[in-house]
Amino acid sequence: MKHLLDMTAEEFAAEMARLEQPKFRARQIGDWVWHRGVFDFAKMTNLPAAQRAGMAEQFSILSGKVMARADAADQVTKLLLAWPDGQQVETVLIPTAHHATACLSTQAGCAVGCSFCASGSQGLGRNLTGGEIVEQVLQLQAATGRKVTHAVFMGMGEPLANFEATLFAVRAIIDPGRLGISARHVTVSTVGLPKAIRNLAAQKLPITLAISLHAHNDALRRQLIPNAPADIESIVEAAEAFYESRHRELTLEYVLLAGVNDTNLCAEGLSRIARRLRCNVNIIRFNPAPGLPYQRPSGQATLRFAQRLEKAGVNVQIRKSRGAEADAACGQLRAKMGEQELQS
């Protein structure tokens, strides 16, 4: 059985040619899958009946099973998906009136082990395939009836540590024949792997790169990210190369941890880096989860930190905390399931 979602459009067209299907067949099936949300060949009514059964024997479409669903009062929906080998990931839909952002996972767990992240504390299960990353968008659309307009690679895992699958997923997401989401609405977030950032820059895709910095010097950063794959200077140099490749705006992400990385000195150091990169800073208030040894900063302290950056000439945003009831911080739904706290 071959996974349709793991194939490029050309590969699927080649499969159809191998099965001696007419030229339009690949596009016809693709239309059902990508645009109409139909994942069962038996329901593809413009396919000859014999072909419906034949295709179902050759190809699978969705492979994840929804194990749990959490809906928050603000419409945020989080799904826990299990793959056939038992590995599980989370995927989240964050809607507004006109947009719907899918927050996608790229790995089951994560090897980087940031000390404030629920995914990190679970270790790495395995890389997801490109199809498993893209499937999350289809599952979210099917579960909520909303059309995904934006995609952020900010779920479980480190996207650039699973480079090929992430690139495959980005291409499927922005391909007009598949999901057709504008590349300008796609953000890949990374803890900072310089070689992979340069590689991504070489693809010249007009996507946004978000770099999870969290600290202005290496000593503090190593405390927060013990297995940080690179020092800040190499990450910043690679980020400059990314910026120059497309002149796309970069974002620095900064999880604010009360009493740890929220001092004036931290704000000054961070603003120096942000000015050098001419990039925006996204402040994320720490989202507490069981077992994580940090405190969420108060709203006032967060505002003060943001204002210091602004005064230093940096464009700054405080990320809205949404989906608190849906356990929207990275890795939390799966952590809960592990503790069998989720009742559903």
The one of ligand SAH, ligand SF4, none whose footprint includes residue 286, by CB under 5 to 8 A per kind, is: ligand SAH
Q: Assess 191 for contact with ligand SF4 (CB under 6 A).
A: yes
Q: Assess 113 for contact with ligand SF4 (CB under 6 A).
A: yes
The one of ligand SAH, ligand SF4, none whose footprint includes residue 113, by CB under 5 to 8 A per kind, is: ligand SF4
The one of ligand SF4, ligand SAH, none whose footprint includes residue 167, by CB under 5 to 8 A per kind, is: none
| Closest chain position to ligand SF4 (CB) | 120
Examine the residue annotation and report whether 103 is marked as an active-site residue of this protein. Answer: no
Q: Assess 260 for contact with ligand SF4 (CB under 6 A).
A: no
Judge contact between 231 and 239, C-beta under 8 A. Answer: no
Which of the ranges 106-114, 129-137, 200-208, 332-340 carries the binding residues for ligand SF4, by CB under 6 A?
106-114
Structure tokens at 51: 């072909």
Q: Choose between 113 and 131: whose C-beta lies nearer to ligand SF4.
A: 113
Report the sign of the C-alpha dihedral through residues 114, 112, 117, 162, in that order: positive
Residues of this chain that interact with ligand SAH (CB under 6 A) are 116-117, 154, 158, 189-191, 212, 253, 255, 284, 286-287, 289, 329-330
What's the gap between Cα 324 and its chain centre?
A: 18
Q: For residue 71, what is the enclosing H or E element?
A: strand 65-71
The string of DSSP codes covering 40-51 is -GGG-TTS-HHH
∠ Cα 67 323 329 (to 5°): 75
Which of the ranges 70-78, 108-116, 169-177, 316-324 carries the binding residues for ligand SF4, by CB under 6 A?
108-116
Q: Which of 305, 164, 165, 190 shows the shortest CA–CA distance to 250?
A: 190
Q: Give CA–CA dist 250/279, Å, rounded.
A: 5
Question: Contacting ligand SF4 (CB under 6 A), which of 79, 330, 333, 337?
Answer: 330
Q: Provide the minimum distance between the beta carbon of 156 and ligand SAH in the complex, in angstroms, as a whole number.
A: 7
Q: Choose between 28 and 234: whose C-beta lies nearer to ligand SF4.
A: 234
* Annotated active-site residue in 15, 90, 158, 253: 90
Q: Give CA–CA dist 7/11, Å, rounded.
A: 6
Contacts to ligand SF4 from residues 62-81, by CB under 6 A: none
The one of ligand SAH, ligand SF4, none whose footprint includes residue 287, by CB under 5 to 8 A per kind, is: ligand SAH
The one of ligand SF4, ligand SAH, none whose footprint includes residue 34, by CB under 5 to 8 A per kind, is: none
Structure tokens at 43: 């329901």
* Total residues interacting with ligand SF4, rule: CB under 6 A: 12
Structure tokens at 305: 């930190």
Beta strands in 85-123 (DSSP E): 88-95, 100-103, 107-109
Contacts to ligand SF4 from residues 267-306, by CB under 6 A: none
Q: Which of 215, 231, 6, 27 shows the shortest CA–CA distance to 131?
A: 6
Give me the residue label for tokens 């940090």: 294
3-state class percentages of the chain: helix first, strand second, coil last, to nearest 5: 40, 20, 40
Q: Provide the minimum distance between the beta carbon of 117 and ligand SAH in the complex, in angstroms, as a whole number.
A: 4
Judge contact between 90 and 326, C-beta under 8 A. Answer: no
Examine the residue annotation and report whether 90 is marked as an active-site residue of this protein. Answer: yes
Catalytic residues: 90, 330
Q: Which residues bind ligand SF4 (CB under 6 A)?
A: 110, 112-114, 117, 119-120, 156-158, 191, 330
